Amino acid sequence: MTFAALFEKHRTEKPRAYGAVYDALPAPARVLELGIKTGRSLLAWAERWPDAAVYGMDTVLGNLDPGVRAHPRVVVVEGDATDPSHAPADLLFDLIVDDVGYTSHEVSDQLKIMRNYAARVRPGGTYVVEDITTEEGLSELIDTASRLGFLAWAVLHPPGLEFRVLVLTKEP
């Protein structure tokens, strides 16, 4: 099933057009999403990548769907992604997704989160920033990413959406 279909099935908040980004990625062994709300996007990762360990973090866990905590491959952590001391200890991830959300999503937070989590992406792994609202913000993020050891990037700007998605590849 495509990610667009999985985002629909699990009723995530992600625009279905973002699915193309994730369809193109190799299956990760360990994925972390920052900003999960209901946690339903974690169920989409877990279904499409049946061998992956799936981690999620949010400042508020009160909105979680009951099925999320019960899932054997999903780990949910309460924490603030802008605070480096809240990062899950000593783990490297093949994929990190920043979906802390556009309403609170100033580029300064996206930059802070990228600085906090860049070292948690394993060599050759992927870091995705969703819901980038401005071209200036996008440029700042790419500039910072190049100083944090990311070698390549792609930008998805789906027709009709005001948001862009930045996909970064960590140096091998």
Q: Which of residues 27-56 bind ligand SAM (CB under 6 A)?
A: 33-38, 40-41
Residue carrying structure tokens 């590849």: 169
Query: What's the closest the beta carbon of residue 1 comes to ligand SAM, in angstroms?
Result: 16
CB of 112 to ligand SAM, least distance (A): 9
CB of 144 to ligand SAM, least distance (A): 17
3 class by beta-carbon count within 10 Å (0-12 exposed, 13-18 middle, 19+ buried): buried
Token representation of residue 46 = 């877990």
Strand order through the sheet with 93-98: 74-78, 53-58, 30-34, 93-98, 121-132, 164-170, 150-156
The phi and psi torsions of 122 (rounded to 5 degrees) equal: -70, 155
Q: Which DSSP helix (H) or strand (E) runs through 162?
A: none
Contact region with ligand SAM (CB under 6 A), list: 87-95, 99-107, 119-127, 133-141: 99-107
Q: Does 100 bind ligand SAM (CB under 6 A)?
A: yes
Interface with ligand SAM, residue 60, by CB under 6 A? yes
List the interface residues with ligand SAM, window 10-29 (CB under 6 A).
12-14
What tokens does 108 get? 């300064």
Structure tokens at 145: 């990413």
Compare residues 152 and 167 and give the one whose CB is closer to ligand SAM.
167
Using CB under 6 A as the binding criterion, the count of chain residues that bind ligand SAM stands at 22
Among 54, 74, 81, 129, binds ligand SAM (CB under 6 A): 81
135 CA to centre of own chain: 20
Binding footprint of ligand SAM on the chain (CB under 6 A): 12-14, 33-38, 40-41, 57-60, 80-82, 99-101, 104
